[in-house]
């Protein structure tokens, strides 16, 4: 049997350059991250996902890579990475890294040799002698990106780039490219990595419809999985793939392709529900969730390092979410998303933020947390595009938020210093010693999630409860039953529990703003505004 550690994991995602600066140059580094592992451990997360830290011109937050086998010199070197990996291992923390193989930077030596016609690298990228007629089709960044093809004067041909023009797409249909991808995977596995978040999976496989070796697009996912399993049985693949639910089987396969896939459609329905303060969007989505292999898993999240992508909502629905959480044009991006942090969108209301965390942690799948959200960090909309949510971690009320001894204006991105989300008001030092802080609340929520493996192992039953604002879920696994209830509204709600508990004893796992009223006629639960409750159902004690 596989080591299925990811079924009950809680993943903490961070950007090394924005987490902690140890040498005072204004850029976070591996030494700083290693020094701050206690924060992640104390929070209760057991897995760290690192955004790209490889050598890069850094035109796209490190996703434009020039060397897959190194560390950006600003962040340290391979020795510093190994020291970090050992320190994480000593604390029982697993490491995941980004596998970005849909494209490279145009500064990568492979691309430079390809454009020069080098016999080995000539076909490592996607080239065309003439600009395709559909060059504007499939643009990922409307308003920023003009085309998916750019003319290269040296090669006198057009190269394809699904994303920015400085990110040329690798030709994954070329067997030599696929061999190199396996070499990259094997290298980082050897350095202690336990998994990969695979960037842009649908675009990696889009050109594999007819390679000469007969490899199918989804079959390639199985090929990577097999290689991974041969090298390290416990290692996993987590896919960035914003897919409709009917495609789930293609990506998970029969327990032979991807281990986890981010549930982007659920995230979109979640924000629609939060905007409406009404449960139906999430209830209906979960009720129709497809069956996936027992060893497969969705990954759930509130925020990540990109925009909140609302592209799968109807136009009217998207307008509702924009109105609630991103009403100003500067808060919106790419005609489909919001570039704000969670706490700012929820108005800094810690009751509502905590409820959102509790709900996310209770949804089916493996939860992923974006660094700083556990503190209620805000955003800096003065920064371009998605950098608004990638500001330095706020450790203390000191200059630059304790992230660096450098001046704020000399930091990799300007820290949030003004307003209610400034580091003088929102920082880790103050919250760690305050049992009522958001950090302490999220800490308790994560502890509860890790004590409830039912959520990771069983499909949810959507409960039929009165009240349009209540999301009720039941999980049953190996004789254990868990019920979670969340009030999305700003008004108290009551839930009739008698039929739900079916004569069982009720043991609270955690609670926030609830009262239990047991009478001769049954049990009624009262949830305060943005209240939530996790309950275990146990057989009645003997003699009761």
CA distance 309 to 241: 12
Structure tokens at 72: 């950006």
E strand intervals along 323-452: 332-333, 337-338, 366-370
CA distance 93 to 35: 14
Range of lowest pLDDT (110-124, 137-151, 212-226, 443-457): 212-226
Q: Mean pLDDT, the chain, as a whole number?
A: 94
Residue 210 confidence (pLDDT): 58
pTM listed for this prediction: 0.96
Residues 287-316 pLDDT 10s = 999 999 999 999 999 999 999 999 999 999
Residues 6+ apart with CB under 8 A from 478: 457
CA 326 to the chain's CA centroid = 20
Strand-pairing partners, residue 149, are 160
The residue with tokens 């394809």 is 160
| Domains, the chain, with CATH or none | 5-101+175-450 (3.20.20.80), 103-171 (3.90.400.10), 458-538 (2.60.40.1180)
Identify whether the C-beta of residue 236 lies closer than 8 Å to the C-beta of residue 195.
yes
Would residue 199 show up in a list of annotated catalytic residues for this protein? yes
Pairing between β-strand 157-160 and β-strand 149-152 as defined by DSSP bridges: antiparallel
Q: What does the buried/exposed string (b/e) look like for 124-150 if buried means 16 or more CB atoms within 10 Å of the residue's CB?
A: bbbbeeeeeeebeeebebeeebebbbb
Q: Exposed/middle/buried for 5, CB within 10 Å: 0-12, 13-18, 19+?
A: middle
Would residue 542 show up in a list of annotated catalytic residues for this protein? no
Can you tell me the mean pLDDT for 493-499? 88
Q: What does the buried/exposed string (b/e) look like for 278-293 if buried means 16 or more CB atoms within 10 Å of the residue's CB?
A: bbebbbebbeebeebe
Is the pLDDT at 520 greater than 60? The verdict is: no
Structure tokens at 391: 């500001």
- Going by C-alpha positions, the residue among 312, 340, 309 that lies closest to residue 244 is 312
Which runs of consecutive H residues, i.e. helices, occur in 346-427?
350-362
Identify whether the C-beta of residue 176 lies closer than 8 Å to the C-beta of residue 213.
no
Which runs of consecutive H residues, i.e. helices, occur in 248-314?
248-252, 264-276, 280-287
Q: Exposed/middle/buried for 433, CB within 10 Å: 0-12, 13-18, 19+?
A: exposed
3-class state of residue 141 by DSSP? coil
Residues 6+ apart with CB under 8 A from 290: 245, 246, 248, 249
User: Annotated catalytic residue: which of 15, 46, 64, 240?
Assistant: 240
Confidence of residue 506 (pLDDT cuts 50, 70, 90): confident
- Going by C-alpha positions, the residue among 23, 427, 25 that lies closest to residue 34 is 23
Identify whether the C-beta of residue 160 lies closer than 8 Å to the C-beta of residue 169.
yes
Residues 230-265 pLDDT 10s = 999 999 999 999 999 999 999 999 999 999 999 999
Can you tell me the mean pLDDT for 516-524? 65
- Going by C-alpha positions, the residue among 302, 454, 319, 460 that lies closest to residue 374 is 302
Is the pLDDT at 391 greater than 50? The verdict is: yes
Range of lowest pLDDT (63-77, 145-159, 250-264, 511-525): 511-525
Strand-pairing partners, residue 197, are 98, 238
User: Annotated catalytic residue: which of 169, 199, 379, 454?
Assistant: 199
Terminal CA-CA length for the chain: 41
CA 110 to the chain's CA centroid = 30
At how many degrees (to 10) do helices 264-276 and 315-325 cross? 60
Can you tell me the mean pLDDT for 45-73? 97
């Amino acid at each position: 049997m596989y080591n299925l550690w990811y079924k009950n994991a809680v993943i903490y995602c961070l950007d090394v350059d924005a987490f902690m600066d140890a040498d005072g140059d204004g850029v976070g580094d591996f030494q700083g991250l290693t020094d701050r592992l206690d924060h992640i451990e104390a929070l209760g997360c057991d897995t760290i996902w690192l955004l790209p830290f490889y050598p890069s011109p850094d035109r796209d937050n490190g996703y434009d890579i020039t060397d897959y086998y190194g560390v950006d010199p600003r962040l340290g070197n391979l020795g510093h990475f190994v020291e970090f990996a050992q320190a994480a291992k000593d604390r029982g923390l697993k490491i995941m890294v980004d596998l970005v193989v849909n494209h490279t930077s145009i500064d990568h030596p492979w691309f430079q040799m390809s454009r020069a016609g080098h016999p080995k690298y000539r076909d490592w990228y996607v080239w065309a002698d003439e600009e395709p007629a559909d060059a504007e089709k499939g643009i990922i960044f409307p308003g920023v990106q003009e085309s998916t093809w750019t003319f290269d004067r040296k090669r006198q041909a057009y190269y394809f780039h699904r994303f920015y023009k400085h990110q040329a797409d690798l030709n994954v249909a070329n067997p030599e490219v696929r061999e190199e991808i396996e070499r990259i995977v094997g290298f980082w596995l050897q350095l202690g990595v336990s998994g990969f978040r695979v960037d842009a999976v649908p675009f990696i496989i889009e050109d594999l419809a007819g390679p000469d070796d007969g490899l199918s697009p989804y079959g390639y996912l199985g090929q990577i999985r097999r290689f991974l399993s041969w090298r390290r049985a416990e290692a996993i693949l987590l896919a960035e793939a914003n897919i409709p639910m009917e495609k789930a089987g293609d990506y998970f396969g029969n327990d032979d392709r991807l281990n986890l896939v981010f549930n982007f459609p659920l995230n979109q329905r979640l924000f629609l529900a939060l905007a409406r303060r009404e449960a139906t969007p999430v209830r209906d989505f979960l009720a129709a969730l497809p069956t996936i292999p027992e060893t497969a898993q969705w990954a759930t999240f509130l925020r990540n390092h990109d925009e909140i992508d609302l592209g799968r909502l109807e136009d009217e629905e998207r307008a509702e979410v924009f109105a609630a959480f991103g009403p100003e044009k500067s808060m919106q991006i790419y005609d489909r998303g919001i570039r704000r942090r969670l706490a700012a969108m929820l108005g800094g209301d810690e009751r509502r933020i905590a409820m959102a965390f509790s709900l996310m942690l209770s949804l089916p799948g493996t939860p992923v947390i974006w660094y700083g959200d556990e503190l209620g960090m805000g955003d800096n909309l003065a920064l371009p595009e998605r950098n608004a949510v990638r500001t330095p971690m706020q450790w203390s009320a000191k200059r630059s938020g304790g992230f660096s001894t450098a001046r704020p204006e000399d930091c990799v991105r300007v820290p949030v210093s003004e307003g209610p989300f400034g580091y003088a008001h929102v920082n880790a030092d103050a919250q760690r010693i305050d049992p009522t802080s958001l950090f302490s609340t999220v800490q308790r929520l994560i502890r509860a999630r890790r004590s409830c493996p039912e959520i990771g192992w069983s499909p949810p039953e959507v409960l039929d409860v009165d009240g349009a604002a209540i999301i009720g879920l039941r999980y049953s696994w190996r004789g254990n039953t868990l019920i979670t209830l969340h009030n999305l509204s700003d008004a108290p709600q009551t839930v009739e529990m008698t039929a739900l508990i079916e004569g069982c004893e009720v043991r609270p796992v955690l609670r926030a703003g609830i009262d239990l009223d047991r009478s001769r006629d049954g049990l009624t639960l009262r949830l305060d505004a943005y209240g939530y409750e996790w309950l275990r159902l146990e057989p009645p004690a003997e003699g009761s």
